Structure 1
């Protein structure tokens, strides 16, 4: 049995981490059996979550894990996709993971309104005394990482316009299709759901969240995805 090591649930969705939520979404979409538990960061092979334990081995990085699962358990979602669809899905995933992700970081870790909501949720991952000491250090590290990545060098109004451009592009590609590439879900839908719902569900009425909620096709998409793949427990805490 595969063990998924991940962060806790919050905000009415399965995980505070969009990367963890992406991987669990993929597992549910493909029916690969798994159990989930709170991550032991000391075992994380790449020093981050999510990671899996399978057959006595550990593997990190959500996308590398998905590619491993395809090789080991088959590829029911993407096997019949054409090259153009695979390329389109890849580009959307990279926008979500390498660009829009940093807007999620900004909303949660940098803005004061977001931090007031996110801080107690993130602190709860650690023992009480440890959390109070280590979380401010992690926040400083995330802020520094945003500056190194580049988004943190911009003014708030510039950051907002960049985030809106990402959301608009993703909404345009989705259009009125049930799933990103058509009538049937593909592995790329795991990322689309995880990152968009992470913006929508975060309970701070930021300009980026308001803009995302205005994209009704994205809202309906998240509702449809959650009902199909998380109907038996969208609010679950990691299973021990």
Structure 2
């Protein structure tokens, strides 16, 4: 059985980490048996979550995990979409993971708006004395990433405009269809669902999440995906 080292439910989400949630949805799509355990960061390959262990092999990074499942178990996450559609899907995935994710973690761990929130729930398994340190470290890493990408040079209004433009594009993309690429769920939806759900989490006071929750088609898409992949999760 594949063991997924991920995160526990937090912030009204099935998993605190969108990357871990993405991998879990991929595993659900694959139909392979798996077990989810709380990751211990002290043993994290590459220093990040998630990773899987399969018959003694350790694979980390969600993209490499997907490639491993495709290669070793002959899983077809494309669901027979055309090459053009999959190219379009890859652009969606990269926009979410490389463009929106840094802003998402800034919102979660370094936003002045959210500093009063109890973000320690993301570290419930850690000893009480370590939780504050883990929160501080998460905030530092978020600010460092934002700085490396140059996003700290943008005003809040400028970042908001960038996020809204991306969300408007996704709202247009999903309009008139059930899933990101059409009428069939595929691997692209694992990424889209995980990252959009994380951005929409109402526990955070972010204006980005509020804007997303007003998007009719994206909100309906998130509800469909939760009903399909996490039907028993109440949030």
Q: 1:146 to 1:51 in 2, by over 3 A?
A: same
Q: Please state whether the residue corresponding to 1:117 is helix, strand or coil.
A: coil
Deviations 1:12-63 (A, max 9, x none): 3211111111111111122121000010223222110000011111110011
Deviations 1:82-134 (A, max 9, x none): 11011001000000000111121121112123232253223434211122234
* Residues 109, 118 of structure 1: 8 Å contact kept: no
Q: TM-score, normalised by structure 1?
A: 0.92
Q: 1:196 to 1:80 in 2, by over 3 A?
A: same
User: How far, CA to CA, are the matches of 2:93 and 2:191 in structure 1?
Assistant: 6
User: How far, CA to CA, are the matches of 1:212 and 1:170 in structure 2?
Assistant: 10
* Residues 109, 138 of structure 2: 8 Å contact kept: no
Quote the residue 1:83 is aligned against.
83
Q: 1:125 to 1:114 in 2, by over 3 A?
A: farther
Residues 10-49 of structure 1: pairs in structure 2 closer than 5 A: 10-49=10-49
Q: Please state whether the residue corresponding to 1:116 is helix, strand or coil.
A: coil
Q: How far 1:205 moved relative to its partner?
A: 3.5
User: How far, CA to CA, are the matches of 2:176 and 2:32 in structure 1?
Assistant: 29
| Higher RCO structure (Cα 8 Å, ≥6 apart) | 1
* Residues 44, 58 of structure 1: 8 Å contact kept: no
User: How far, CA to CA, are the matches of 2:17 and 2:133 in structure 1?
Assistant: 21
Quote the residue 2:173 is aligned against.
173
Q: Please state whether the residue corresponding to 2:47 is helix, strand or coil.
A: coil
Quote the residue 1:124 is aligned against.
124
Quote the residue 1:72 is aligned against.
72
Q: 1:205 to 1:42 in 2, by over 3 A?
A: closer
Residues 131-210 of structure 1: pairs in structure 2 closer than 5 A: 131-210=131-210
Q: Please state whether the residue corresponding to 2:11 is helix, strand or coil.
A: coil
User: How far, CA to CA, are the matches of 2:79 and 2:219 in structure 1?
Assistant: 28
* Residues 102, 146 of structure 1: 8 Å contact kept: yes
2:75 corresponds to 1:63: no
Q: Please state whether the residue corresponding to 1:10 is helix, strand or coil.
A: coil
Q: How far 1:180 moved relative to its partner?
A: 0.7
* Residues 23, 62 of structure 2: 8 Å contact kept: yes
Q: Please state whether the residue corresponding to 1:102 is helix, strand or coil.
A: helix
Unaligned runs of 5+ in 1: 236-240
Q: How far 1:153 moved relative to its partner?
A: 2.0
Quote the residue 2:216 is aligned against.
216
Q: TM-score, normalised by structure 2?
A: 0.93
* Residues 120, 131 of structure 2: 8 Å contact kept: no
Unaligned runs of 5+ in 2: none
User: How far, CA to CA, are the matches of 1:71 and 1:234 in structure 2?
Assistant: 34
* Residues 4, 53 of structure 2: 8 Å contact kept: yes
Q: How far 1:138 moved relative to its partner?
A: 3.2
